Every structure is written in C-alpha cells, then in structure tokens.
Structure 1
Amino acid sequence: MLALPTLSSNGITLKPLTLGHTEDLVIACQDGELWNKVTTSVPSPETVVDYINTAETMADRVAFAVVNDSSGKTIGTTSYHDILPSAKRLEVGYTWYAQSYWRTRVNTACKLMLLTHAFETLGYLTVGWRTDIDNHQSQRAIERLGAKKDGVIRGIRVRRNGVITDTVMYSMMVEEWPENKVKLIEKLAKYEK
C-alpha cells in the first residue's frame, strides 16, 4: 500500500483523512447538500464518520482531507484508489468539495499535487478517473485536466437510490503528463490573478 504523504501547494494541503476531520466535513457536505446528488458518493452529515472509517479500511485506497490553508478548515476529500502497483496504475477519485469551492483553484491545485506525486514521486505510468455517465460536470472537469476518455463500462455502479448505472472511464499516461502539467500550472496562475 502507498504511504500517506502530506502534500501542499497553492494554498491547499492534502493530509491523510482521519476522524479528526469529521466536524469540518459535516459542514462541507452541507454546503450545497451534496449527498442529495445521486451521481456522486458524497456522505450525508450523519454518515461522515462511516465514510471516513470506510476510507481508512479499504485496502486499495489512500484517502486525503483537502484543507484550505487560509482557514485551516477541511473543505472536502480526494483519494488514490484501485491502486495496482504491479501495473503502475492508480485512480484518483472519491473527490468532493464544499459547493462554494467549485470552479475555484481547489480542484486544479489538488489534481496537480496528486498527479505530480503519482507520476514523479511514485513512478506510476497511468492515472485513471471514473465518473457516473450522467455526471457531466465531473466529466468536463476530468477532461479539463487533459485526461483521455477510455470508454464506458455499462451497468457497473449502483447509485444510492438503487439505480444501476454506467461509468465513464478516463486515463492519463506518464508520457502525456509533462504537457498537461504545464497546462495545469498555467490554469492555476489565472486563478491567482
């Protein structure tokens, strides 16, 4: 299993997710009532503890708290998951932020840190993403990172409302990373102006 690093850049710190982040995450998920969105896996305020406990016990997941450095508050989570050391492949997911942080520098900063760590420190060759077929906002966000759409896996996921749905798969290869890294850095510079 991967070690749990602390990564920090552009006013955001990624720390290993623990029960110490519960109070802030209860507040964060209420910002936009995110648990009501059936195409995501955001916990309700009552299930944040279970969400954290599950993340900590999954063998192929390394979960991070997303901390806003200026406030010191945890504003969401993100993870490495489906980690395949032999294939040098992992996925980035279980990502959600309080709605007031959507379309800000937060997602770009987090993905820049996670991708840099995966490709340049861990030496992984492929980073993947997956999202619900109807989560068009997430699909656009993944595509803005420079990921390529691999295809759709039909009937693979059960939404919290019991509906069986399809998943869109994306990936980025290590040889695509340098160009995409430059684009992410340029995108972050625009937020800071």
Structure 2
Amino acid sequence: MTNAVWPPALTIASERLVLEPLGYEHEQGLREAVLDGELWNLVVTSAPEPDKVKAYIDLALQMRAEGTRLAHAVIEKASGRVLGSSSYHDIIAPIKRVEIGYTWYAKSVQKTYVNTECKNLLLQHAFETLDCGVVGWRTDNLNFASQKAIERLGAKKDGTIRHHALRRDGTVRDTVLYSVLQHEWHGGIKAHMQQLLHRYDGAA
C-alpha cells in the first residue's frame, strides 16, 4: 500500500460508534457478528460465512491496496463489540467519487440507530473531510429493505442495471443505483440525517 491510495485509512467516530479500518484484529469480532442471525444464509447480504471471515478480510485488504475499497469494522464504542462492517468501494480517486456498501450488521443491532449513524459518519467524512463530489450506493433489486433504507436517507435513484451480477445462490440480480451529490448533502440531507438520528436518542 502506498501513500497514493485514496482515501486515507482513518478511524472516524461518533458518541456511540467507532469505524476502524478493517484488519485482522477484527476477525473474531466479525465472526461473532455474522453468527448473530446467521447472516451468511441471506441471499442478498455480503456477510461472510464464519469460517471465511479471514478470507473476507484478506480480500478487503487486497482491494484496499488496489485503491478500490476501504473497509471498516463498525464497533460499539461503549463495549468494544464489533457490530458489522461497511465500506467505501468502487472508488474513483481523480473525481473524488466513492460508494458506500459491503454493509452488514449483527441481527441484534439491525433496525436500531446503528445503520443510520454509520451512514451519517461515512457521508459526513466523505463530503466534509474527503471533499467528495458524490457518494453512491448499489443494491440488489430484491433487497427492498436496503432500497428503503437508502431512500430514507434522501439519496436519489439513478437507475437500474439489468442482469448485472451473481448472487451467492447463483441467480443473477439487477442492481439498483442511488447517489447523493455534495450540494445535496449541504443543502438539506445533512440536516435530514440529524433528524433521523434524533429519533434514536437514548436508544441502544
């Protein structure tokens, strides 16, 4: 890995969450997180099987060295528990474009503050520290929960790429694309995210 790899691997944090660049020190925590809900059995998730967590980290670090992905471990600050993972990916450094994906969380923290707060951290870092022009998402056309979550953040639907990628069960998915532009972040989405987070004030 060289200094030319962008974005730089930094730890970012809120009052409740810490996002650390993913490494082998997170292996056991990730394994415990995927076991919480047996996430690998879901067709539309990127969560690894428990015995493939090391390979998952291997690939993330390889993609990091290539400059295409920066994976994070999502950690609960109070307990130090690894809750899941989320990444910047499909990085295009010359135009300062990243996408947010490879996101999954232990079942016990799904539908809590975690996803919204993690997305807020990644968006704020992308637009206000990295000066990105756009942040994108892509999701399975059958992952309606993911589509609703992305739309709830205020992202715009860019379109659908049909017959685009293999699912883990061997079927072929269509991919739905979303994005937020920098002026949209400053023009209202940042404030909207704060309103969403206020709903979770005091929640675990």
Identify the TM-score tier after normalising by the shorter chain: over 0.9
Q: Secondary structure at the match of 1:70?
A: coil
What's the CA shift for 1:191? 0.5
> Which residue is 2:180 aligned to?
172
What's the CA shift for 1:87? 2.0
1:151 to 134, 137, 159: 159
Unaligned runs of 5+ in 1: none
> Which residue is 1:84 aligned to?
92
CA contact (8 A) 1:76 1:96 kept: yes
Q: Aligned equivalents of 1:79 and 1:164: distance in 2?
A: 23
- 1:87-126 to structure 2, matched below 5 A, reads 87-126=95-134
> Which residue is 2:29 aligned to?
24
What's the CA shift for 1:45? 0.5
Distance 1:74 1:14, change over 3 A: same
CA contact (8 A) 1:10 1:109 kept: no
> Which residue is 2:9 aligned to?
4
Equivalent position amino acid for 1:105 in 2: Y
Percent of aligned pairs sharing the same letter: 49
Unaligned runs of 5+ in 2: none
TM-score, normalised to structure 2, is 0.92
RMSD: 0.9
Q: Aligned equivalents of 1:163 and 1:107: distance in 2?
A: 27
Query: How many pairs were matched up?
Result: 193
Q: Aligned equivalents of 1:12 and 1:91: distance in 2?
A: 20
Equivalent position amino acid for 1:29 in 2: V
> Which residue is 2:143 aligned to?
135
Equivalent position amino acid for 2:178 in 1: Y
What's the CA shift for 1:105? 0.8
> Which residue is 2:79 aligned to?
71
- Structure 1's consecutive aligned runs of 4 or more residues displaced over 2 angstroms after TM superposition are none
Q: Aligned equivalents of 1:153 and 1:140: distance in 2?
A: 18
TM-score, normalised to structure 1, is 0.97
What's the CA shift for 1:10? 3.1
